[in-house]
Chain A
Amino acid sequence: DAKTTQPPSMDCAEGRAANLPCNHSTISGNEYVYWYRQIHSQGPQYIIHGLKNNETNEMASLIITEDRKSSTLILPHATLRDTAVYYCIVKISNFGNEKLTFGTGTRLTIIP
Protein backbone atom coordinates (compact mmCIF):
# COMPACT_ATOMS: atom_id res chain seq x y z
CA ASP A 1 0.00 0.00 0.00
CA ALA A 2 1.12 3.54 -0.74
CA LYS A 3 2.70 5.57 2.03
CA THR A 4 1.06 8.80 3.17
CA THR A 5 2.52 12.00 4.56
CA GLN A 6 0.49 14.32 6.79
CA PRO A 7 1.45 17.35 8.88
CA PRO A 8 1.76 16.30 12.53
CA SER A 9 -0.54 19.00 13.84
CA MET A 10 -2.88 21.80 12.77
CA ASP A 11 -5.08 24.37 14.47
CA CYS A 12 -8.35 25.72 13.15
CA ALA A 13 -10.74 28.33 14.55
CA GLU A 14 -14.19 27.13 15.50
CA GLY A 15 -16.71 27.76 12.73
CA ARG A 16 -14.08 27.94 10.01
CA ALA A 17 -13.31 25.28 7.43
CA ALA A 18 -10.57 22.87 8.40
CA ASN A 19 -8.46 21.72 5.47
CA LEU A 20 -6.29 18.70 6.17
CA PRO A 21 -3.74 17.77 3.48
CA CYS A 22 -2.37 14.34 2.68
CA ASN A 23 0.40 13.47 0.28
CA HIS A 24 0.33 10.03 -1.35
CA SER A 25 2.64 10.46 -4.30
CA THR A 26 3.19 6.70 -4.79
CA ILE A 27 -0.48 5.83 -4.99
CA SER A 28 -1.46 3.17 -7.52
CA GLY A 29 -4.41 3.34 -9.87
CA ASN A 30 -6.49 0.87 -7.88
CA GLU A 31 -5.82 2.31 -4.44
CA TYR A 32 -8.52 4.22 -2.58
CA VAL A 33 -7.96 7.17 -0.27
CA TYR A 34 -9.65 6.74 3.12
CA TRP A 35 -9.95 9.20 5.98
CA TYR A 36 -10.55 8.23 9.59
CA ARG A 37 -10.40 10.21 12.78
CA GLN A 38 -9.81 9.20 16.35
CA ILE A 39 -11.08 11.22 19.24
CA HIS A 40 -9.12 10.70 22.43
CA SER A 41 -9.22 7.07 23.63
CA GLN A 42 -12.07 6.12 21.28
CA GLY A 43 -12.05 3.79 18.29
CA PRO A 44 -11.26 5.31 14.88
CA GLN A 45 -14.28 6.72 13.10
CA TYR A 46 -14.71 6.46 9.35
CA ILE A 47 -15.14 9.85 7.65
CA ILE A 48 -15.01 9.48 3.88
CA HIS A 49 -13.19 7.76 1.04
CA GLY A 50 -12.68 8.11 -2.69
CA LEU A 51 -10.88 6.72 -5.71
CA LYS A 52 -10.66 9.46 -8.33
CA ASN A 53 -13.54 11.86 -8.00
CA ASN A 54 -14.19 14.36 -5.25
CA GLU A 55 -16.61 13.09 -2.65
CA THR A 56 -18.91 14.74 -0.13
CA ASN A 57 -21.00 13.37 2.70
CA GLU A 58 -22.66 14.77 5.78
CA MET A 59 -19.37 14.96 7.65
CA ALA A 60 -16.81 16.20 5.15
CA SER A 61 -15.60 16.67 1.61
CA LEU A 62 -12.66 14.90 0.01
CA ILE A 63 -10.78 16.62 -2.77
CA ILE A 64 -8.38 14.41 -4.75
CA THR A 65 -5.98 16.04 -7.19
CA GLU A 66 -6.19 15.03 -10.82
CA ASP A 67 -2.90 13.11 -10.65
CA ARG A 68 -4.14 11.50 -7.38
CA LYS A 69 -0.83 12.22 -5.66
CA SER A 70 -2.46 14.25 -2.91
CA SER A 71 -5.81 14.91 -1.31
CA THR A 72 -7.46 17.29 1.12
CA LEU A 73 -10.10 16.54 3.70
CA ILE A 74 -12.37 19.50 4.33
CA LEU A 75 -14.50 19.88 7.45
CA PRO A 76 -16.71 22.80 6.34
CA HIS A 77 -17.64 24.30 9.72
CA ALA A 78 -15.34 22.97 12.40
CA THR A 79 -16.66 22.53 15.93
CA LEU A 80 -14.85 21.74 19.16
CA ARG A 81 -15.99 18.13 18.79
CA ASP A 82 -13.87 17.85 15.64
CA THR A 83 -10.70 17.99 17.74
CA ALA A 84 -9.09 14.62 16.99
CA VAL A 85 -6.26 12.83 15.20
CA TYR A 86 -7.05 12.50 11.50
CA TYR A 87 -5.60 9.62 9.51
CA CYS A 88 -5.25 9.48 5.75
CA ILE A 89 -4.87 5.92 4.45
CA VAL A 90 -4.45 4.63 0.93
CA LYS A 91 -5.05 1.00 0.19
CA ILE A 92 -6.11 -1.43 -2.42
CA SER A 93 -9.64 -2.47 -1.75
CA ASN A 94 -8.87 -6.14 -2.23
CA PHE A 95 -11.12 -7.84 0.21
CA GLY A 96 -9.67 -10.47 2.44
CA ASN A 97 -5.96 -9.82 2.21
CA GLU A 98 -5.74 -6.16 2.87
CA LYS A 99 -3.96 -4.22 5.51
CA LEU A 100 -5.59 -1.04 6.72
CA THR A 101 -2.36 0.60 7.83
CA PHE A 102 -2.42 3.81 9.82
CA GLY A 103 0.26 6.47 9.46
CA THR A 104 1.07 9.01 12.14
CA GLY A 105 -1.87 11.27 11.27
CA THR A 106 -2.59 14.95 11.89
CA ARG A 107 -3.62 16.15 15.33
CA LEU A 108 -6.29 18.77 14.63
CA THR A 109 -7.14 21.19 17.42
CA ILE A 110 -10.20 23.40 17.07
CA ILE A 111 -9.69 26.70 18.84
CA PRO A 112 -12.75 28.39 20.42
Chain B
Amino acid sequence: DTEVTQTPKHLVMGMTNKKSLKCEQHMGHRAMYWYKQKAKKPPELMFVYSYEKLSINESVPSRFSPECPNSSLLNLHLHALQPEDSALYLCASRGVLRGTEAFFGQGTRLTVV
Protein backbone atom coordinates (compact mmCIF):
# COMPACT_ATOMS: atom_id res chain seq x y z
CA ASP B 1 0.00 0.00 0.00
CA THR B 2 1.70 3.19 -1.22
CA GLU B 3 -1.27 5.42 -0.71
CA VAL B 4 -1.67 8.72 1.09
CA THR B 5 -5.35 9.42 1.65
CA GLN B 6 -6.67 12.94 2.10
CA THR B 7 -10.16 13.87 3.18
CA PRO B 8 -12.27 15.63 2.26
CA LYS B 9 -11.56 15.98 -1.46
CA HIS B 10 -13.41 19.29 -1.62
CA LEU B 11 -14.25 21.78 1.12
CA VAL B 12 -16.09 25.08 1.05
CA MET B 13 -15.93 27.12 4.24
CA GLY B 14 -16.83 30.57 5.42
CA MET B 15 -14.31 32.95 6.89
CA THR B 16 -15.66 32.41 10.40
CA ASN B 17 -15.76 28.62 10.19
CA LYS B 18 -13.44 26.09 11.78
CA LYS B 19 -12.65 23.03 9.73
CA SER B 20 -9.97 20.35 9.55
CA LEU B 21 -8.19 18.55 6.75
CA LYS B 22 -7.11 14.99 7.32
CA CYS B 23 -4.25 12.97 5.89
CA GLU B 24 -3.59 9.29 6.54
CA GLN B 25 -0.90 6.83 5.48
CA HIS B 26 -0.16 3.25 6.50
CA MET B 27 3.30 2.86 5.01
CA GLY B 28 5.12 3.34 8.32
CA HIS B 29 6.46 6.68 7.14
CA ARG B 30 7.70 8.90 9.96
CA ALA B 31 7.92 12.19 8.02
CA MET B 32 4.75 13.92 6.89
CA TYR B 33 4.28 17.18 5.03
CA TRP B 34 1.65 19.79 4.25
CA TYR B 35 1.84 21.79 1.04
CA LYS B 36 -0.31 24.56 -0.38
CA GLN B 37 -0.73 24.95 -4.14
CA LYS B 38 -2.33 27.89 -5.90
CA ALA B 39 -3.53 27.58 -9.47
CA LYS B 40 -0.74 27.30 -12.05
CA LYS B 41 1.94 27.48 -9.35
CA PRO B 42 4.19 24.78 -7.87
CA PRO B 43 3.39 23.32 -4.44
CA GLU B 44 4.72 25.39 -1.53
CA LEU B 45 5.88 23.70 1.64
CA MET B 46 3.99 24.66 4.79
CA PHE B 47 4.92 22.18 7.53
CA VAL B 48 7.09 19.12 8.09
CA TYR B 49 6.54 16.60 10.88
CA SER B 50 9.28 14.19 11.82
CA TYR B 51 8.50 11.37 14.25
CA GLU B 52 5.26 13.14 15.12
CA LYS B 53 7.04 16.36 16.07
CA LEU B 54 6.90 19.59 14.10
CA SER B 55 10.34 20.09 12.55
CA ILE B 56 9.70 22.78 9.95
CA ASN B 57 7.15 25.62 9.86
CA GLU B 58 7.61 27.80 6.80
CA SER B 59 6.32 30.93 8.56
CA VAL B 60 2.73 29.87 8.01
CA PRO B 61 0.03 32.14 9.54
CA SER B 62 -1.43 30.87 12.80
CA ARG B 63 -4.88 30.44 11.25
CA PHE B 64 -3.36 27.18 9.94
CA SER B 65 -2.66 24.78 12.82
CA PRO B 66 -1.09 21.39 12.09
CA GLU B 67 -1.38 18.37 14.31
CA CYS B 68 0.18 14.91 14.15
CA PRO B 69 -1.66 12.75 16.71
CA ASN B 70 0.09 9.53 15.68
CA SER B 71 2.51 8.19 13.10
CA SER B 72 -0.24 7.50 10.55
CA LEU B 73 -2.31 10.64 10.79
CA LEU B 74 -1.74 14.30 10.01
CA ASN B 75 -4.33 17.02 10.44
CA LEU B 76 -4.48 20.65 9.37
CA HIS B 77 -6.89 22.72 11.45
CA LEU B 78 -8.28 25.80 9.75
CA HIS B 79 -9.76 28.83 11.46
CA ALA B 80 -10.66 32.33 10.31
CA LEU B 81 -9.30 31.81 6.83
CA GLN B 82 -9.30 34.41 4.10
CA PRO B 83 -10.48 34.00 0.50
CA GLU B 84 -6.84 34.11 -0.63
CA ASP B 85 -6.27 30.88 1.32
CA SER B 86 -8.34 29.07 -1.27
CA ALA B 87 -6.01 26.49 -2.83
CA LEU B 88 -5.23 22.81 -3.22
CA TYR B 89 -3.77 21.47 0.03
CA LEU B 90 -1.48 18.50 -0.42
CA CYS B 91 -0.18 16.02 2.11
CA ALA B 92 2.90 13.85 1.61
CA SER B 93 4.79 11.23 3.58
CA ARG B 94 8.25 9.74 3.42
CA GLY B 95 10.18 6.87 4.99
CA VAL B 96 13.34 7.05 7.05
CA LEU B 97 15.87 5.51 4.69
CA ARG B 98 18.31 7.69 2.78
CA GLY B 99 17.27 8.44 -0.77
CA THR B 100 13.65 7.41 -0.42
CA GLU B 101 10.90 9.21 -2.21
CA ALA B 102 7.90 11.06 -0.86
CA PHE B 103 4.37 9.98 -1.70
CA PHE B 104 1.64 12.56 -2.17
CA GLY B 105 -2.08 12.44 -1.61
CA GLN B 106 -4.56 13.75 -4.17
CA GLY B 107 -5.18 16.88 -2.17
CA THR B 108 -8.10 18.77 -0.70
CA ARG B 109 -9.50 21.56 -2.85
CA LEU B 110 -10.38 24.32 -0.39
CA THR B 111 -12.58 27.30 -1.21
CA VAL B 112 -13.00 30.07 1.35
CA VAL B 113 -16.07 32.23 0.84
| Residues of A bordering B, CB below 8 Å | 32, 34, 36, 41-46, 49, 51, 85, 87, 93, 95-105
Contact = CB atoms under 8 A, between A and B. Distances in A.
Residue with the greatest number of chain B CB neighbours at <10 A, chosen from A32, A36, A51, A98 = A98
A51 B103 contact: no
Nearest to A97: B55
A44 B33 CA distance: 13
Interface of B: 4, 6, 30-31, 33, 42-45, 48, 50-51, 55-56, 58, 88, 90, 92, 94, 96-107, 109
B104 A43 contact: yes
B94 A95 contact: yes
A100 B50 contact: no
B107 A43 contact: yes
Given A46-B102, A96-B55, A97-B48, 18 more contacts: A34-B101, A43-B4, A43-B107, A44-B43, A46-B101, A46-B104, A93-B100, A95-B30, A95-B31, A95-B50, A95-B94, A96-B31, A97-B55, A99-B45, A100-B45, A101-B45, A102-B43, A102-B44
A105 B44 CA distance: 13
Contacts of B48: 96-99
Contacts of B43: 44, 102
Select the residue from B30, B58, B101, B105 with max chain A CB neighbours within 10 A: B101
A85 B40 CA distance: 10
B32 to A, nearest CB: 11
Given A95-B98, A104-B42, A45 B104 contact: yes
